[in-house]
A = this chain, B = another copy of it.
Amino acid sequence: MSSTLGTNYKISIFGESHGTAIGAVIDAPPPGLEIDMEQVLVQMARRAPDGKDGSTKRVEADTPHIQSGVLDRDGKCIATGAPLCVLIQNTNTRSSDYQNISHIARPAHADYTGYIHYHGYNDIRGGGHFSGRLTAPLVFAGAVARQALAKMGIRVCAHIASIGDVCDTPLDPCAIPAEISERLSQSGFPVLDEVQEKLMKNEIERARMDADSVGGIIECAVTGIPAGIGAPIFDALECKIAHAVLGVPAVKGIEFGAGFAITRMRGSAANDPMRMQGDQVVTTSNNNGGILGGITNGMPVIFRAAVKPTASIGLPQQSIDYVDKQEADLIIKGRHDACIVPRAVPVIEAAAAVAILDEIMAEGKYE
């Protein structure tokens, strides 16, 4: 019944697309953490729609207003360690766009399931609490988390591994240089291969021209994470990351390391050989994505998330009226993204950062 995640860096997300405000309570950031608000805004901007590359043309200010949990010390924003509440006003809510939807469910959206779950009381304007807009406070929480992680030398970055059938070069799972991690985690359309970037943008534009949409895969890497983080069975780090990442709307799958491809390898190829690099234990491949027995081995944590094509498309669709219980055709008017994958990248990074910081704090290993 809850939009809460974590135990020590616990986030509680609230809001509806067309309500007064959305936001989150973080209970609580590490006391004394200096929050670089400019870097937070960089992350927020990556997620916000800008009308380019198939995103909607709405201008959402998405300015986070911190209500509690911080102090101004010499012009710096310092977390006190008490719960931090952030608020993002809903300023641009043209609800008329959604008025023709009424009770005809948008296929692949939560209109019908939300109606059933909330006994008809859910706010359906703009998707209500199910709106992708709710990822904005998650990105805020992730932006703070990644600053805390950075103090320990842990970096989180991701790139667009694919849009439809167009694939980027994969990350080297054994070695992600800091400058690449840095560049990707600041980019609005993070890819490694510029040629593929152009092809991806073409793919999105073609979908947009067809009033259709397209999905993709996001590959995320966490570098600098020490060995020993996680736990066996249900507190495996994979469980915690997957729990957070699958909470992001439109994500339909997650795989670690070689993931589904590992099922087609033999053990002799899949098992990552172990070597010493100075006094550091390393593996010469990383098919296990840096996690063994639910616990990090010191290699980069690598995972991929599958993002489905935007459910809102301009083409006519077969649907039903869930109040009148009869079939109905649906044409969704108004604005929508032809592809949310680029905007989802900082959200996936945020989910990973939140899950990992929470685990590190819960193990008493935050420094």
Contact = CB atoms under 8 A, between A and B. Distances in A.
A25 B32 contact: no
A265 to B, nearest CB: 6
Interface stretch (A63-71, A148-156, A183-191): A63-71
A334 interface: no
A117 B2 CA distance: 25
Taking the full assembly, how many copies of this chain does it contain?
Answer: 4
Given A242-B254, A252-B262, A306-B263, A130 B3 contact: no
Interface in A73-107: 78-85, 87, 105, 107
Contacts of A229: 117
Contacts of A81: 1, 117-119, 121-122
Contact of A110 (B70, B232, B265): B232
Contacts of A231: 1-3, 117
A283 B311 CA distance: 15
B3 A235 contact: yes
Contacts of A162: 263-264
Interface residues of A, number: 151
Contacts of A366: 364
A52 interface: no
Nearest to A310: B267
Contact of A253 (B23, B114, B256, B325): B256
A181 B248 CA distance: 31
A281 B228 contact: no
Contacts of A56: none
Contacts of A107: 271-274, 283
Interface in A4-38: 4-5, 7-8, 10, 12-16, 19-23, 25, 27-28, 31-32
Contacts of A10: 2, 4, 12
A113 B230 CA distance: 9
A254 B4 CA distance: 22
Interface stretch (A39-47, A169-177, A194-202, A211-219): A211-219
A146 interface: no
Contacts of A313: 267-268, 271
A341 B256 CA distance: 18
A67 B217 CA distance: 34
A259 interface: yes
Given A21-B85, A67-B20, A253 B243 contact: no
28 contacts: A1-B81, A2-B231, A7-B362, A12-B27, A14-B25, A14-B27, A79-B121, A81-B118, A108-B292, A112-B227, A112-B274, A113-B295, A134-B232, A165-B264, A212-B266, A213-B266, A215-B265, A215-B270, A233-B247, A234-B244, A239-B243, A239-B244, A252-B260, A252-B288, A253-B254, A255-B255, A276-B320, A364-B366
Given A12-B12, A15-B83, A236-B247, 19 more contacts: A2-B234, A3-B235, A4-B4, A14-B25, A14-B84, A16-B80, A21-B85, A32-B118, A80-B118, A80-B121, A82-B118, A113-B296, A114-B295, A233-B249, A242-B246, A247-B294, A281-B325, A284-B318, A362-B362
